[in-house]
């Protein structure tokens, strides 16, 4: 055993190694992933990544090692960046349990095996390429256990389960099955491996056998008995390794003839080749022993077998010379020399490829080397009259020249090297001049061909050619620079760096070497050094002697310029972010400056700075994206449970420290941070510990900004502490979380929410990335809160539809009574002072004062219950809005038109026009020093009499008669002074109809968005200002926008609506002339007697309930 790596708390069920062997990833049965260094075995993650809540079934690295794909039983495939170990993009939801995940060799495809089918995806876009039913057997749900791609990516092999225990071969071009299923196994196939040469396949099955197959004909070559789950080939390709139930790794030898399916002809060729080799070896031995006749016979056999065997001709020439058979010796020698002549002729005819072949044959025929023959070549020269030294040099030199002329300097260089190795010192000296000239010419050609290969992106060839040029003593900075570029193209960062430094050494005044060094350091993620090098490059450009080079400086930004640009984006990003957040990696509480410092120390920031200085045209968009991704945060929505961790408890400490174990609520806070980190977020916010509640200024800003913080969060995690694991639908509706005041804005404001049960698993195991898109959860939430999904998904803070929003909060409670009003600030888009101790009455009064005064929305005055001390026209408690708003039957357009036609005969046009003009010129409601100035139509009460009841009364009912109105009844818990014409009193009572400008049917004018950066339209978030949710005249009438009415028609239409029943207030005049609203237990419904009667249109001032002191006695008691 080389090393034992420990770290998982449960069984390891998946393992993957990156192609370069630098990273090992392991997945546990509990859903955790650990990354290890391939050489040292050290963990690359501080703790297991909580990737899934279920077992991990498969892991696979992308070919470049930059991404790890993971599969699990939770129906998703996730992707993890191997630099940051954060989830990359959205998971792929495949709709079935993931059995196997495999990248194609090019990385362009990702194969996923599920219980239902085989799915092929483009991992870059996460788009599905195709899906198909891979295996079918006796069961309708037969599935795929495992995959393997051939090394060239032209085939995908899949292994089936026990219902279809076959291997099937798929063509990625058509995704059709190739040939017939490979049959042999009798149970589920758990693993498939392909030989490095791509010719053999090994499979492991639950039938307790390992099978070796030949890919070319799908035939079984060998079978090994072993109960195995896993199988692979050894690095040298000579053995099969398998592991299984016996806790052992078994090694099996691959048969020697396994790779090829040999034909009879190929057997004959192999045998002939073997006989020839044997004859040559035996002939050499015969020459050594002096048995020249045997040597001659064997060499002759070789020549008869292959008449172009010039090596045997050369050897037989020497044998014949030793036997003094001069004629035969000369004949064989001519055969050998013929190769040189043929090569020379081919070279002259510019048939360069043939010339190279002829000279290569001549060189091979000339072996043994000149070193061994040098001592006897003088005798042979005398014997045959040859210049053997020239004869040996000529084919070598011409062979080098042939390759060089053919544009193959790498072959020419190899030929030159071989020539120099085989020549003795005397021969080398004789061709020194030629050799130097050849190397110079070869070096230039290598550089030229390398440039061409570099342009075409053939980096391997370019590197080889540039290396050859450098080997031939080329010290050109250009060659080193170009080789550095080629190595950069191959992402060989450290090798490229060495070449860049060589360029700087050869030409220290040029910017090019520094540019290449910067690129290499940037690629190697040594960003600090890269930026320093880049600054050196800028100085070289600025000091360049020629104008053209100096102009290149305009292409780049200084690091300081980029830093300023990044800081501006950071400031904008943090404008809508919490003042303090928790670092999910370290567990430390950070203010904004600490958050910015942590970001600046991160590898992402340095990479952004280093890359942006060279691409000023793209910097704004990319800076925004990187800043957003790194500074985005998760928010927690929960119910406070007793004592929670406060800022003072954790400040200066990590929430993960064991010393905080005794702090109540730490388990929840830690789990929240870990869940947020698992979702890919660096920062997290909790209202328990991220606000300094002892600082009034910070508390005020936090309360007023909280809605915005939730809205701009990347994720809001809603923790249901009273919902146990495996709860059924309905548990959310019953949760105490649904009764708390602050939680309304906490699930309406965010764009993305996820509900978690008390064991931090997803509610209903709903894997929808955003529970606002979950139909089941949103329906349950609507049933519990009355809030429609459209409002939850696309809510925009504004004053519109105030009555509905107040109704949402009417049944909720808060620990501090003022918070019920403070929790609504963000939903209405207002910023008000925070004053704990003022009580709900005053806090709610201040909020309603803003709602009524700003847009003139009077729906907030529609309530029943106890009046507020802030103003008698406002309620004392949010519970006064629990009853649904007053709904009166609307008029249809046909009814309106009919009524208008009747009025034209009954009412003077001037009368209608005057009423319309008076009401149009009425100002909107406004508050001043807690007094409400309410525009209205007033009806003076002439009689108020109590209606007696035999039952015990807690509320009193009064019949009220008013000028111009039908008689009506008012139910209240206040005792009113009774009067009638025969018994008048000094105090005035008046029934009023609050004026609603929507009755004028003027064109709508949309308000600007409170979130100016959002792209949603105003109508996506609620009702427009001119169409309130509650119609005080006749229910919810449709605003007629398709027709443009003249003043007369509008005036008559207004009179029709004013003649309908309406919701009224009963007001009692005070000594100072102001009025107090008489709180009613039910809606007061009034209706005019005759619309032709004059109307008392005025603005009435309504005061606080505390100002009302009655000195009038009720004499009727």
pLDDT tens by residue, 798-832 = 888 899 999 999 999 999 999 999 999 999 999 99
Q: Please give the Cα distance from 69 to 735 (Å, whole number).
A: 37
Q: How many CB atoms lie within 10 A of CB 604?
A: 18
Q: What is the mean pLDDT of the segment spanning 95-111?
A: 85
Lowest mean pLDDT among 450-454, 546-550, 980-984: 546-550
961 burial (CB, 10 Å; 0-12 / 13-18 / 19+) is middle
Query: Which pLDDT value is given to residue 370?
Result: 42
Question: 746 with 710: CB under 8 angstroms?
Answer: yes
Nearest residue to 472 (alpha-carbon basis) of 450, 442, 495: 442
Q: Note the residue count of the chain.
A: 1117
Question: Starting at the edge strand that comes first in sequence, how are the strands of the sheet with 144-149 ordered?
Answer: 144-149, 156-160, 167-171, 176-177
Task: Give the separation between CA 948 and CA 957, rounded to whole angstroms.
Answer: 8
Residue 1058 has a CB neighbour count (10 Å cut-off) of 19
Whether residue 840 contacts residue 817, with contact meaning beta carbons closer than 8 Å, is answered with yes
Residue-wise burial string across 58-78, b where 16 or more C-beta atoms lie within 10 A, e elsewhere: bbbbbbebebbbbbbbbbbbb
Could you count the other beta carbons within 10 Å of the beta carbon of residue 1107? 17
Buried b or exposed e, range 205-228, using 16+ CB within 10 angstroms = bbbebbbbbbbeebebbbebebbb
Least confident of 103-107, 225-229, 489-493: 225-229
State how far the alpha carbon of 1055 is from the alpha carbons of 517, 690, 809, 909, 993, in Å: 83, 57, 36, 11, 14
Q: Where are the alpha helices (DSSP H) in 423-556?
A: 425-430, 432-456, 459-471, 477-489, 493-506, 512-523, 527-542, 547-551
Calpha distance 915→824 (Å, rounded): 38
Side by side, the strands of the sheet bearing 12-17 are 12-17, 23-28, 32-37, 49-50
Report the pLDDT value the prediction gives residue 376, as an integer from 0 to 100: 44
Nearest of 984, 988, 963 to residue 1086 by alpha carbon: 963
Whether the predicted pLDDT of 322 surpasses 80: no
Give the closest residue to 968 by CA, choosing from 849, 890, 1062, 1056.
1062
Q: Which of the residue ranges 550-554, 568-572, 707-711, 845-849 would you say has the lowest mean pLDDT?
A: 550-554
Residue 244 has pLDDT above 50, yes or no: yes
What angle, 0 to 180 degrees and rounded to 10, lies between the N-to-C axes of helices 264-289 and 310-322? Answer: 20
Cα–Cα distance for residue pair 541/556, rounded to 1 Å: 10
What is the number of other CB atoms lying within 10 angstroms of the CB of residue 956? Answer: 17
Q: What is the pLDDT of residue 43?
A: 87
What is the model's pLDDT at position 259?
A: 66
Poorest-pLDDT segment among 482-496, 597-611, 951-965, 979-993: 951-965
Question: Which pLDDT band, with edges at 50, 70 and 90, does 379 fall under?
Answer: very low
pLDDT tens digits, one per residue of 41-66: 888 887 888 888 888 889 999 999 99
pLDDT per residue as tens digits for the range 932-945:
999 999 999 999 99
> Does residue 1037 surpass a pLDDT of 50?
no
| Residue 1105 confidence class, pLDDT cut points 50, 70, 90 | low
Instruction: Give the model's pLDDT for residue 241.
Output: 86
- The H or E element spanning position 144 is strand 144-149
| Dihedral of alpha carbons 767, 770, 771, 773, sign | negative
Distance of CA 820 to the CA centre of its chain: 37
Give 345's DSSP letter: H
Q: Are 974 and 1078 in contact (CB under 8 A)?
A: yes
Say if residues 932 and 871 touch (Cβ distance below 8 Å). Answer: yes
Least confident of 224-233, 417-426, 513-522, 728-737: 417-426
d(CA 708, CA 730): 30
- Tell me what pLDDT residue 356 has: 52
Angle at CA of residue 969, ends 968 and 972, nearest 5°: 145
Cβ neighbors of 583 (< 8 A, separation 6 or more) are: 589, 590, 595, 598, 682, 683
Please give the distance of CA 850 from its chain centroid, rounded to a whole number: 41
Summarize the confidence of residues 841-856 as an average pLDDT: 90
What single-letter DSSP state applies at residue 455?
H
CA dist 889 and 893 (Å) reads 13
What is the C-alpha separation between 1013 and 946, in angstroms, rounded? 58
| Cis amide linkage into residue 26, ω under 30° from 0 | no
| pLDDT digit string, tens, across residues 912-937 | 999 999 999 999 999 888 899 999 99
Rounded to whole angstroms, the Cα distance separating 162 from 1089 reads 87
Residue 132 has pLDDT above 90, yes or no: no
How far apart (Å, rounded) are the C-alpha atoms in residues 94 and 143?
Answer: 14
Check the CA dihedral 1059-1064-1066-1069 and report its sign.
negative
Helical segments of 794-932, H only: 802-809, 819-822, 825-828, 839-853, 893-906, 909-920
Tokens of 749: 């404001």
Contact present, 569 and 624 (Cβ < 8 Å):
yes
Residue 185: CB atoms within 10 A of its CB come to 24
Q: Are 104 and 153 in contact (CB under 8 A)?
A: yes
Q: Residue 488 is encoded by which pair of tokens? A: 């950069």
Domains of the chain (ranges; CATH) run 12-195 (2.130.10.10), 273-443 (no CATH), 474-556 (1.25.40.10), 893-1107 (no CATH)
Strands 1062-1069 and 1075-1077 turn out to be antiparallel
Pairing outcome for strands 167-171 and 98-103: unpaired
- Going by pLDDT thresholds of 50, 70 and 90, the confidence category of residue 532 is very high
* Per-residue pLDDT, 392: 65
Beta bridge mates, 802:
none
Q: Please tell me what DSSP assigns to residue 87.
A: B
Distance, CA of 143 to CA of 137 (rounded, Å): 9
Q: How far is CA 785 from the centre of its chain?
A: 32
Asked whether the predicted pLDDT for residue 387 surpasses 90, the reply is no
pLDDT of residue 137: 64
- Close Cβ partners of 710 (under 8 Å, ≥ 6 residues apart): 635, 637, 716, 745, 746, 749, 750, 826
- CA–CA dist 445, 404 (Å, integer): 8
Say how far apart CA 356 and CA 367 lie, in whole Å.
Answer: 17
- Long-range contacts of range 604-608, CB-CB < 8 Å, 24 or more positions apart? 604/84, 604/629, 604/630, 605/566, 605/630, 606/527, 606/528, 606/531, 607/522, 607/525, 607/527, 608/566
CA gap 100, 97 in Å, rounded: 9
Between 870 and 251, the higher pLDDT residue? 870
717, 771, 779, 812, 814 from 783: Cα distances, Å? 21, 16, 6, 15, 22
């Amino acid at each position: 055993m080389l090393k034992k790596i420990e770290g998982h708390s449960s069984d390891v069920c998946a393992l993957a190694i990156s192609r370069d062997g630098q990273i090992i990833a392991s997945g546990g049965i509990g859903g955790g992933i650990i990354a290890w260094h391939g050489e040292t075995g050290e963990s690359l993650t501080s703790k297991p990544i909580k990737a899934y809540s279920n077992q991990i079934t498969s892991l696979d690295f992308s070919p470049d090692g930059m991404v790890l794909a993971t599969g699990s039983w939770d129906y998703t495939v996730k992707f993890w960046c191997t630099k940051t170990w954060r989830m990359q993009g959205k998971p792929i939801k495949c709709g079935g349990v993931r059995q196997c995940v495999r990248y194609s060799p090019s990385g362009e495809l990702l194969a996923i095996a599920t219980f239902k089918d085989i799915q092929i995806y483009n991992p870059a876009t996460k788009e599905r390429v195709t899906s198909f039913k891979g295996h079918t057997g006796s069961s309708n749900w037969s599935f795929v256990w495992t995959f393997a791609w051939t090394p060239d990516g032209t085939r995908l092999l899949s292994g089936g389960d026990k219902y279809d225990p076959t291997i099937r071969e798929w063509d990625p071009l058509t995704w059709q099955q190739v040939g017939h299923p490979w049959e042999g196994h009798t149970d589920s196939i758990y693993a498939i491996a392909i030989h490095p040469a791509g010719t053999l396949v090994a499979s492991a099955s639950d039938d307790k056998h390992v099978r070796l197959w030949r890919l070319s004909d799908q035939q079984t070559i060998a079978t090994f008995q072993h109960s195995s789950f896993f199988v692979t080939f050894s690095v040298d390709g000579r053995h099969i390794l398998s592991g299984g139930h016996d806790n052992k790794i078994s090694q099996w030898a691959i048969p020697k003839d396994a790779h090829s399916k040999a034909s009879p002809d190929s057997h004959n060729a192999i045998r002939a080749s073997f006989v020839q080799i044997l004859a040559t070896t035996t002939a050499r031995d015969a020459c050594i022993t002096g048995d020249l006749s045997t040597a001659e016979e064997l060499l002759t056999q070789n020549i008869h077998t292959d008449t172009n065997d010039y090596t045997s001709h050369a050897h037989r020439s020497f044998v014949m010379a030793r036997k003094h058979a001069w004629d035969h010796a000369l004949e064989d020698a001519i055969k050998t020399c013929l190769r040189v002549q043929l090569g020379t002729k081919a070279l002259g005819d510019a048939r360069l490829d043939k010339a190279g072949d002829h000279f290569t044959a001549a060189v091979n025929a000339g072996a043994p080397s000149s070193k061994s023959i040098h001592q006897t070549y003088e005798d042979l020269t005398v014997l045959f009259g040859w210049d053997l030294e020239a004869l040996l040099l000529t084919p070598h030199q011409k062979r080098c020249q042939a390759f060089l002329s053919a544009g193959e300097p790498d072959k020419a260089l190899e030929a030159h090297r071989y020539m120099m190795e085989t020549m003795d010192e005397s021969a080398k000296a004789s061709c020194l001049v030629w050799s130097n000239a050849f190397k110079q010419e070869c070096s230039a050609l290598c550089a030229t061909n390398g440039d061409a290969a570099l342009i075409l992106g053939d980096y391997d060839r370019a590197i080889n050619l540039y290396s050859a040029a450098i080997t031939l003593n080329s010290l050109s900075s250009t060659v080193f620079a170009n080789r550095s570029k080629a190595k950069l193209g191959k992402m060989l960062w450290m090798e490229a760096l060495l070449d860049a430094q060589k360029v700087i050494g050869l030409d220290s005044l040029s910017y090019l070497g520094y540019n290449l060094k910067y690129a290499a350091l940037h690629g190697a993620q040594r960003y600090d050094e890269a930026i320093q090098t880049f600054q050196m490059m800028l100085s070289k450009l600025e000091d360049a002697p020629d104008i053209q080079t100096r102009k290149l400086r305009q292409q780049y930004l200084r690091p300081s310029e980029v830093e300023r640009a990044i800081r501006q984006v950071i400031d904008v990003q943090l404008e809508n972010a919490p003042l303090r957040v928790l670092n999910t990696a370290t567990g430390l509480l950070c203010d904004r400056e600490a958050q910015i410092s942590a970001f600046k120390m991160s590898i992402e920031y340095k990479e952004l700075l280093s890359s942006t200085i060279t691409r000023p045209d793209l910097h704004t968009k990319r800076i925004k994206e990187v800043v957003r991704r790194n500074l985005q945060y998760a928010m927690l929505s929960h119910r406070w449970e007793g004592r929670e961790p406060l800022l003072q408890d954790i400040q200066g400490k990590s929430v993960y420290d064991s010393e905080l174990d005794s702090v109540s609520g730490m388990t929840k806070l830690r789990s929240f941070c870990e869940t947020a980190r698992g979702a890919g977020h660096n920062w997290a916010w909790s209202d328990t510990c991220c606000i300094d509640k002892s600082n009034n200024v910070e508390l005020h800003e936090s309360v007023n900004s909280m809605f915005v913080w939730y809205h701009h969060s990347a994720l809001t995690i809603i923790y249901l502490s009273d919902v146990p694991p495996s709860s059924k639908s309905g548990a959310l509706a019953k949760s105490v979380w649904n009764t708390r005041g602050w939680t309304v804005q906490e699930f309406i404001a965010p764009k993305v929410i996820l509900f978690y049960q008390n064991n931090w698993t997803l509610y209903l195991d709903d894997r929808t990335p955003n529970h606002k898109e979950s139909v089941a959860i949103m329906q349950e939430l609507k049933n519990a809160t009355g809030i429609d999904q459209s409002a939850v998904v696309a809510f925009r803070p504004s004053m519109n539809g105030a009555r509905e929003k107040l109704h949402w909060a009417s049944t909720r409670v808060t620990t501090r009574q003022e918070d019920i009003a403070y929790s609504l600030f963000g939903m209405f888009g207002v910023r008000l002072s925070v004053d704990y101790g003022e009580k709900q009455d005053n806090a709610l009064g201040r909020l309603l004062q803003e709602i009524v005064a700003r847009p003139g929305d009077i729906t907030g005055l529609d309530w029943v219950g106890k009046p507020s001390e802030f103003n008698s026209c406002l309620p004392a408690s949010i519970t006064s809005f629990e009853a649904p708003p007053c709904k009166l039957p609307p008029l249809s357009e046909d009814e309106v038109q009919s009524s208008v036609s009747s009025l034209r005969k009954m009412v003077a046009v001037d009368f209608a026009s005057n009423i319309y003009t008076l009401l149009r010129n009425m100002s909107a409601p406004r508050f001043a020093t807690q007094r409400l100035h309410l525009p209205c139509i007033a009806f003076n009460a002439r009689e108020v009499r109590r209606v007696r009841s035999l039952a015990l009364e807690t509320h009193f009912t009064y019949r009220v008669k008013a000028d111009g109105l039908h008689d009506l009844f008012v139910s209240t818990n206040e005792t009113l002074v009774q009067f009638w014409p025969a018994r008048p009193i000094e105090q005035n009572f008046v029934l009023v109809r609050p004026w609603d400008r929507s009755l004028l049917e003027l064109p709508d004018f949309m308000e600007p968005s409170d979130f100016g950066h959002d792209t949603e339209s105003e109508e996506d978030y609620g009702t427009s200002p001119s169409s309130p949710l509650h119609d005080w005249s006749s229910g919810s009438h449709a605003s007629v926008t398709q027709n443009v009415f003249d003043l007369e028609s509008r005036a008559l239409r207004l009179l029709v609506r004013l003649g309908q029943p309406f919701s009224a207030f009963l007001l009692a005049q005070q000594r100072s002339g102001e009025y107090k609203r008489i709180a009613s237990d039910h809606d007061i419904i009034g209706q005019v007697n005759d619309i032709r009667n004059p109307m008392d249109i005025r603005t009435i001032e309504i005061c606080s309930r505390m100002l009302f002191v009655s000195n009038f006695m009720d004499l009727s008691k």
